[in-house]
Amino acid sequence: MAALTIRGLDEAVKQELRRRAARHGNSMEEEARRILREAVGKPLAAARAETGADLFARIRARLAGVADEPLEVPPRDLVRDPPRFE
């Protein structure tokens, strides 16, 4: 793996990279790698870290139409009596 140092980066760009990374659930370094991969045209599917939202969307799309009936959720009972503070 190669290393890259970027000097003279505007503080506003750095802060936007930090916010973008947080939105995607990545470190700033991983977000910069994703941006560079996109810029040079490499596919990201295999290289990107999948966020929870991405995973949910993929599962939902895969199961679309399989079970459109709502599931019946059984009532919950307490496993034990809650503690009493008397």
* pLDDT at position 32: 93
Give this prediction's pTM: 0.47
- SS3 for the chain, per residue? CCCCCCCCCCHHHHHHHHHHHHHHCCCHHHHHHHHHHHHHCCCCCCCCCCCHHHHHHHHHHHHCCCCCCCCCCCCCCCCCCCCCCC
* pLDDT at position 45: 55
Spell out the domain ranges in the chain.
11-63
User: For residue range 22-31, what is the model confidence (pLDDT) as tens digits?
Assistant: 999 999 999 9
User: For residue range 69-79, what is the model confidence (pLDDT) as tens digits?
Assistant: 777 888 888 78
User: For residue range 29-65, what is the model confidence (pLDDT) as tens digits?
Assistant: 999 999 998 888 866 555 455 566 778 888 888 887 7
* pLDDT at position 60: 81
Check pLDDT > 70 for residue 83. Answer: yes
